[in-house]
Amino acid sequence: MTLSPIEIEKRPVQAYRQLVDGRLGEAASAERFGRQSPAHDMQVGCYPLADVADADMAVSAARVAFDEGPWPRMSAAERSGMLATVADLIAANAEELALIDVLESGKPITQARAELEGAVDLWRYAATRARAIEGTVPAGLGQHMLGLIERVPIGVVAMITPWNFPFVILSQKLPFALAAGCTVVLKPSELTPGSTLRLGELLTEAEMPPGTVNLIVGHGQTVGQRLAEHDDVDMISFTGSTQVGRSVARAAAGNLKKVSLELGGKNPQIVCADADLDAAADAVVFGVFFNAGQCCNSSSRLIVEASVEEQFHKRLVELAERVPFGDPLDPATKIGAIINDAQMDKIETYVAQAISQGASPLCGTRRIDGGPGRFFEPTVMANVTSDMDIARDEVFGPVLSTMRFDGLSEAIAIANDTHYGLSAGIWTGNYDRAVCAARDLRAGTIWVNCWMDGFAEMPFGGMRQSGLGREQGAQAVEEFTELKSVLFHRGERSDRWVPNGHNRNP
C-alpha cells in the first residue's frame, strides 16, 4: 500500500500562549518547546513550557477565583449564557481548531472536523445542564425542622488530558465543571496542546472572569504530578493510561481530593452467526482502525462465532486492505498517523510478540518505511487466545485480535476476561442474545448492533480498571459538585441536652 503524497499547508509555525489568572503569556521560566506533525515531520507549533512554579500560580489563581471570584457566585443563567457564548466561539473557529489537532496528532481532517462538531455540542449541552442543577427537600423532618440538600460546586478542579482526542476530551470535562460553578486548571498532553491553548484565547475573547480557567502545558511527571498532589485542588479529573491513572490516584491521596479517571480499554465486539455480517464487518473495521486504533474505545478484540469465522475474516481483510490511509490532510483519509516513535515501537513489539506466541497475521503487521511520518498498516491477527499479551493489553494501534466462540456464554466469558471494562458490543439478529449480552457484559457502555455511537446525553466511563466516575449525560455536572445538608430549626427550642436544673456538684 502506498501513501498519498504528503502535503502540508504553507503556514508559519504557530506560537501559543498559556492562560493563567486571565493573562495570556509565557511560562515562568520563559522556556518554550516545539511539536512536529507526526504525519509530516514538520514543526507545527511552539508552546510555553510550564513547570511546577506555573502549576502553583495556576492553582492559586483558580483558588482565589473560586473562594472570592464571581464565577461560583453568579446565577446559573449567567453561567449558562457564558458557556453558550464559548460554544459559539468554538463553532466559529472550528476549522482552525480541527487543523491544529490534525497537525499535532496525525488524525484525519474529516474526523477532526466531526470531533469539533461533537465538542461544540458538548459545550451547548453543558450550557443547558448549568440551569438544571437541583437540590432536594426531604418531607417529614417534623414541625420544627426544614432540611435542604444542596448541590454545591466541589471547588478547584485540575484536569489532565491526553493526546488522542485533544479537543473532545477537554470538552467532556471543562464545560461541565464550569456549569457546576467550579474553577479549573487544565493541562493538556504536551504532544497536542495547541487547540487547548487556542481555547484560552477564545475564553479571553468571551470575557471569562480571570482565574476561572487556567491552561498550562508541561510534562506529566512535573506539572501533572504537581496538580494531582496539590493541597489546594479539590478534585482531579484525568484521562490517559491506566498506569498514570493509578499514580494520579496515589498522588491525590495526600489531601483526599476527589478523583475521576477515564482510562484504557480492551473492548470486545461479539459477532454472532445470525448478525448482519456485512454491517458487523464494517463496524469492526471502523471500531479498531478509527484514530489509527489510538482510542480508549477501540474495539481491539473481535469474538466471532466459529461457524462464520472464516467468511468473516475474509470480509475483514478485504475491508482492511481497502480503507484509505495516509496523509491526514487528504479528506479521503480514514486512518492517519501514529502519535510518536514510542507508540510505533509499542505497536510493533505487541505484533511481533503475538506472532511468536502463535497468533496468525491475516494482513498488515508492518510500519510504512521510506516517507516522512509514522504510519502502521491496518492489521488483523487471527488465532489469538485470551492469555496472549495482545489480547490483554491496550496496544493503542490499528491492530485487531480475533478469537472464536461456540455458544453465547463462551463469548461473554471471553469478553469479560479482562481487567478493563470500558465498552463492549454484540452483533446479533436474536433479541434474547442481545438482551443477555447487554445484561452480562461488564462494561460502562454496551453497543447492540452498532459501535461507538455517542451522545452528550449518554454517560461515558468505565468499570474495573477502565476508570472511576462518568462524563457526559445528566449526571456529568453532578460529578463536579458535592452535597451539602442544611438544617433550619423554627420556633422555640424546648428540648435541652443538659437537663434544666441539674447540678453536677450538689
Q: Which stretch binds ligand TXE (CB under 6 A): 40-48, 58-66, 184-192, 275-283?
A: 184-192
Write 274-280 long-range contacts (CB < 8 A, 24+): 274/428, 274/429, 274/430, 274/433, 275/427, 275/428, 275/429, 275/449, 276/427, 276/429, 276/449, 277/308, 277/311, 277/312, 277/315, 277/427, 278/315, 279/427, 279/449, 280/312, 280/427
Q: Does 162 bind ligand TXE (CB under 6 A)?
A: yes
As a whole number of angstroms, the distance between CA 170 and CA 159 comes to 8
CB of 36 to ligand TXE, least distance (A): 16
For the CB of residue 12, give the shortest distance to ligand TXE in the complex, in Å.
Answer: 26
Q: Smallest gap, in angstroms, from Cβ of residue 491 to ligand TXE?
A: 53
Instruction: Note whether 380 and 355 are within 8 A (CB).
Output: no
- Is 217 a residue that touches ligand TXE (CB under 6 A)? no
Whether 192 and 103 have beta carbons less than 8 Å apart is answered as: no
Residue from the set 66, 312, 396, 480 that interacts with ligand TXE by CB under 6 A:
396
Q: Which is closer to ligand TXE, CB of 233 or CB of 437?
A: 233
User: Minimum distance from CB of 239 to ligand TXE (Å)?
Assistant: 6
Closest CB to ligand TXE among 222 and 357?
222
Q: Which residues contact 190 (CB under 8 A, 6 or more apart)?
A: 33, 47, 217, 218, 219, 220
- Is 421 among the residues that bind ligand TXE (CB under 6 A)? no
Q: Mark 332-371 with x for binding to ligand TXE (rule: CB under 6 A) and - for no binding.
A: -----------x--x-------------------------
Active-site residue set = 262, 296
Burial label for 280, CB within 10 Å (0-12, 13-18, 19+), is buried
291 C-beta neighbours (distance < 10 Å), count: 23
Nearer to ligand TXE, 239 or 481 (CB): 239
Q: What does the DSSP 8-state code read for residue 328?
A: T
For the bound state, the minimum distance from the C-beta of residue 484 to ligand TXE, rounded and expressed in Å, comes to 30
Stretch that binds ligand TXE, among 53-61, 187-195, 324-332, 494-502 (CB under 6 A): 187-195
Measured from the CB atom, the residue of 89 and 354 that comes closer to ligand TXE is: 354
- List the grid coordinates of 141: 423532618
CB nearer to ligand TXE: pick between 272 and 338:
338
What stretches of 250-390 adopt beta strand conformation (E)? 258-262, 268-271, 301-305, 360-363, 379-382
Q: Which is nearer to ligand TXE, 93 or 239 (CB)?
A: 239
Task: Give the contact letters, 300-339, x = binds to ligand TXE (CB under 6 A), - = no.
Answer: ----------------------------------------
Residue 484: CA atoms inside 13 Å, Cβ hemisphere, count? 8
Instruction: Count the residues of the shown chain that bind ligand TXE, applying the rule CB under 6 A.
Output: 27
Contacts (CB under 6 A) with ligand TXE, residues 98-117: none
Min separation Cβ 292 and ligand TXE, Å: 12
User: Whole-angstrom Cα distance, residue 240 to residue 260?
Assistant: 11
Tell whether residue 425 is a contact of ligand TXE (CB under 6 A). Answer: no
Cα separation, 29 vs 44, in Å, equals: 22
Residue 451: name the closest of 326, 267, 254, 253 by CA: 267
Q: Closer CB to ligand TXE, residue 144 or residue 250? A: 250
Candidate residues 101, 115, 394, 471; the one interacting with ligand TXE per rule CB under 6 A: 394
Q: How far is the CB of 230 from ligand TXE (least distance, A)?
A: 11
Map the footprint of ligand TXE across residues 220-279, applying CB under 6 A: 220-221, 224-225, 228, 239-241, 244, 247-248, 262-264
Q: How far apart, in Å, are the Cα atoms of 100 and each of 44, 267, 329, 338?
A: 8, 29, 11, 16
296 touching ligand TXE, by CB under 6 A = yes
- Please report how close the Cβ of residue 85 comes to ligand TXE at its closest, in angstroms: 27
Contact between 164 and ligand TXE by CB under 6 A: the answer reads: yes
Listing from the earlier edge strand, what are the strands of the sheet with 467-468?
23-25, 18-20, 213-215, 183-187, 156-160, 235-239, 258-262, 467-468
Helix (H) or strand (E) run with residue 67 in it = helix 52-68
Of the two residues 343 and 481, which places its CB atom closer to ligand TXE in the complex? 343
Rounded CA-CA distance 193/18 in Å is 10
Residue among 453, 384, 378, 386 nearest 413 (CA): 386
Residues at the contact surface with ligand TXE, assessed by CB under 6 A: 160-164, 187, 189-190, 220-221, 224-225, 228, 239-241, 244, 247-248, 262-264, 296, 343, 346, 394, 396
